[in-house]
Chain A
């Protein structure tokens, strides 16, 4: 008996309970994008009206893909590489592509977490460091760059990133960013040290904490003045916008990237499940929770943005009031926000010439509300500015950044899982390297390469990775996934698999989506995406203090070598798909799909899975 234990078959790790598994999947799907991308899209695409294309995309593209990945992972009980090799050796490249994409995304995503950590560390001061401008070198005035833009912008671009004016100018490593990045990777390492045992425990906190913070923010935000302005702005439906194809494209891409499919992480997570687990219900729970979280998160975000707009508007008016009061020597507090308009009209009638000579700003609430932002702009500029106006700023800042960190951390778990488990299955790793050492190596390598993002031009590189690695390759991988399962594996075999796992066959809706609707949608989205990218030479917004329209960012074109790197980033991950297919075709001939067992007197179907695993082990 002792010998059997030492055999090569190591028990596959499994989840402690169903809740852990669901929380991990939800945590992976719910990421920072739910908080800083979805509300922005909702706002620019006509508020409530955007929900229609979004929900249609969820139902016809998101949920089928999600269900597919969870189902094959659970049935074939291997991570992305093993699964696709299993379905057909021609498709082996899909798994490799998933792994490479996960690795590339893990690198830049953790940089965002490093930024969040930096802001978190800086939130424990009074006053908050982004509330004031520092003095310039000879202490006579405030720093010019800070004066022209705002102290919040200055803190982000100068004191956090120390950004260079051009992607060509790399600058040097910013030591504070390096140590924040090291801390972020250390936290990832400590969560992954025991594989899903430790990660599964961590996920109880990281997946639930954001909901707690969002609720606290919701309660607080709804009591702020101006919250209703923001909410009305967010949810006022503009039905006209549905006629624009850009909206549908953005809805489809948003749901796709939001659910984190095609990373390989979901396949790995579901492979640790018990065999007979209802993955249909799991897919529905994860998908619907993800969208619900996006909606739920947009309410406090937009309440706070409305508050910020209202405060900005009031400040603008008060500046005008001060100018007028000082010029006309009116008693203090005679002119207030309420009677400003009457005073202004009266003064305009009596002293029109003087009024026109004064620097009176036109204050428009709509203009302040239109100052929307997504991505890092929302979190590190707009939100930090809003937090300054709220009483008890430090508390809100700390809560916000811890929430962002939890959201990002649980997504990173999926990314890292999509790298580690396939690595182990590739059998490139010698047996004596234990799991802890392998995880350490992966973290160390990612950290070293990720040092690029701590350079002066790091932010520009993050944008490059974010726009190009995290988009086209994933679309291609997802397309091959769905085609591979629906046509190469066969819908009949897949239905049988699902029947084995859940006790019922997939109904017509799922079948129609897998066979026709989803691949079609993916193809259309892919083509439209590429077409849109190809219309204009890609540019990036550069923070250049010498720009004449500073503090606006200067749109600069990517230099040729960066363009070459962009093309590489898109092509290299998906290159493995055709390469592996061709290699298998040429050298080994077309093997019959190993899922198709011919009747073999020595092979009792009941032990199918174990035999399969033994075969893989002995290769």
Chain B
């Protein structure tokens, strides 16, 4: 009687041991790099953390297949100091039957983000060997940022060119007017200027013609 009880108690773990082994056909190897991801805040991998992992996988399976998976349906074995291990998933109704590799893979990929977040890791530090990581596309904003900088610089330069050209034209016009004014200076204006400077205008050289008559 006692022997039979012990047998039936040990059966699940024996079965589990047989179901979950390294290089299992329906299993995946998982590798965690906790220290790389978290540095000083790294947690130690122990039974509780493993429980969390199993719960996460159970959630992913339930979410994907719409069946109720339990934590005990996820079997973990061959843990190493690296923190790597193998896991397999058994069917919720039948502990001796494993869920197919493809289903597990799809479930993991679907909820990869959630699994990563639960364990405070990311695609690089929580590796499912054989499951390709989902590639994060580089963020592409609507307007390429370089166009904005280009617009600013071109605007300043363009405004500068226009301003300088306009000021040059204005300056030139002003100079032409001043020269024209000075040319129009006739004797009266010259006399006025001399009087202003407190001088007496010498009229002996004022002639109508600048050129000597031949």
Residue numbers of A with Cβ under 8 A of B are 2, 5-6, 117-118, 120-122, 124-125, 132, 134-135, 139-142, 179-180, 183, 186-187, 189-190, 193-194, 198, 325-326, 329-333, 436
Contacts and interface: CB of A to CB of B under 8 A. Distances in A.
B161 interface: yes
A6 B82 CA distance: 91
B125 to A, nearest CB: 10
A42 to B, nearest CB: 34
Nearest to B140: A134
A183 B137 CA distance: 31
Interface of B: 31, 33-36, 80-84, 135, 137-138, 145-150, 153-154, 157-158, 160-161, 164-165, 168, 179, 182-183, 185
A186 B161 contact: yes
Contact of A330 (B81, B138, B145, B160): B81
Contacts of B148: 124
Contact of A2 (B83, B146, B153, B182): B182
Contact of B158 (A5, A122, A180, A186): A186
A332 B43 CA distance: 13
A326 B82 contact: yes
Contacts of B84: 326, 329
Nearest to A193: B164
A417 B157 CA distance: 20
Given A2-B179, A135-B137, A118 B146 contact: yes
A332 B161 contact: no
A329 B81 contact: yes
A244 to B, nearest CB: 44
Contacts of B138: 132, 134-135
A124 B150 CA distance: 11
B83 A332 contact: yes
Nearest to A136: B135
B158 A121 contact: no
18 contacts: A5-B179, A117-B153, A121-B146, A121-B150, A125-B146, A132-B138, A180-B150, A186-B158, A190-B157, A190-B160, A193-B161, A193-B168, A325-B82, A326-B31, A332-B33, A332-B36, A436-B165, A436-B168
B34 A183 contact: no
Contact of B135 (A124, A141, A180): A141
B124 to A, nearest CB: 10
A6 B182 CA distance: 12
A572 B164 CA distance: 37
Contact of A135 (B33, B135, B158): B135
Contacts of A122: 145-146
A186 B162 CA distance: 11
A379 B115 CA distance: 42
A325 B83 CA distance: 10
B82 A329 contact: yes
A326 B129 CA distance: 11
A124 B143 CA distance: 13
Q: Please provide the 5 A-B residue pairs with the shortest distance between their CB atoms, ordered closest to farther.
A: A329-B80, A121-B146, A331-B81, A329-B82, A121-B149
A5 B183 CA distance: 11
A194 B135 contact: no
B82 A330 contact: yes
A602 B147 CA distance: 66
A142 B161 contact: no
Nearest to B34: A332
A99 B154 CA distance: 29
A186 B157 contact: yes
Given A124-B149, A186-B158, A329-B84, A2 B135 contact: no
Contacts of B83: 331-332
